[in-house]
Amino acid sequence: MIVQNQLALVKRELWEHRAIYLTPLSIAAVMILAALTGQVSLSAFGSAVEIAMMGAHELDVDPEAHRALLTGAVSGLGGVFLVAMWILTIFYCLDALYAERKDKSILFWRSLPVTDAETVISKLVVAVAVIPLVTFLVIALTQLVTLILTSIWLSFVGGNASLLIWQALDLVDIWGGTLILVFAIPLWLSPFIGWYLLVSAWTRRAPLAVAFLPIFILPMIEKIILDTTLFANLFFERTFAIIELIEVFGDGIEDFVESDIAVDPSSISLVGAIDLGGFVLNPHLWGGIIVCALFIGAAIWVRRYRAEA
């Protein structure tokens, strides 16, 4: 019954917030279109240029460097999606418990045998699991379609797609790494997700302003009064740490491309470039999850106890 309710509630979120899949799909459409346009434009030049642009003239390019570059390029396609995913998550959370109060549909939802805890948790599930999963599926789809288009184009201009793309690339590794990243980002930023959901449940107006003002004002006040930077560190370092997390694998790829040392081809791996163990064992991750849980508890309390229309 609890599982059935969760499934129904999550499905309802997807009906209401179509941006969850429309946003990544729009980005995918733009990217695929850009890939097509790029290939057609390149075809205006000679085929030598075309194949060189693939970073891999069969004759004289180091296969490991080619492999690393290709892995970096294909993984990098996901970058825009990850940034968009986080922005989408912020807007989703701020709307999730606010819109139902604004249009008073909360009275209808609460007339059904579903508890407040179940409802709030379904919104959390969407933020930390459904949005990432949808984002991952669209990233994988975009990578696949782009690669297929590139293969077709390569065959037209006389390149060997099988050799240049499909044998050089480990898609399972890229997808594995991407999957880790899409779930790691919301987990790492979960205290923000909890905070946004609480603001959404509690504020009477302007959830965006109410959510962001303290994030900027608290560090300022702290700096002026105490001349310390505890809040600034808490808010901004945590946010930027996620960029470092992504950079870790970015650097790894760069190493493969730039280093003159011979690299073992099997070590060119997106999964291998992510320090999953370090991430899971990081006490800051768990501290953040606890803060998120406290905010979620507060959001449930507010939805349940506030006596308002």
Residues that bind another protein (CB under 8 A): 4-5, 7-9, 11-12, 15-16, 100, 103-115, 305, 307
Token pair 């011979």 is found at 262
Nearer to another protein, 91 or 212 (CB): 91
What span, in angstroms and rounded, lies between the C-alpha atoms of 52 and 7? 49
For the chain, the C-alpha Rg in angstroms (whole number) is 23
Q: Which is nearer to another protein, 52 or 107 (CB)?
A: 107
Smallest gap from Cβ 130 to another protein, in A, equals: 16
In the complex, least distance from residue 107 CB atom to another protein, rounded to whole angstroms: 4
C-beta closer to another protein: residue 102 or 233: 102
Contact at 8 Å (CB) between 194 and 166? no
Least Å distance between CB 100 and another protein?
Answer: 7
Enclosing H/E stretch for 93: helix 63-96
Q: Name the one residue in this structure whose structure tokens are 């290939």.
A: 39
Decide: 123 and 96 in contact? Cβ < 8 Å.
yes
Task: Pick the closer one to another protein by CB: 5 or 282.
Answer: 5
- What would the two tokens of residue 166 be? 């499909």
Residue type, 14: L
Amino acid, res. 228:
T
Shortest separation between residue 5's beta carbon and another protein, angstroms? 5
Sign of CA dihedral 220, 222, 228, 232: negative
Please say which residue, 18 or 52, places its beta carbon nearer to another protein: 18
Secondary structure tally for the chain: helices H, strands E: 17, 0
Dihedral class, residue 137 (left if φ above 0, else alpha if ψ from -120 to 50, else beta): alpha
DSSP state, 266?
G
Select 13 or 64, whichever has its Cβ closest to another protein: 13
If the CB atoms of residues 41 and 111 are measured against another protein, the closer one turns out to be 111
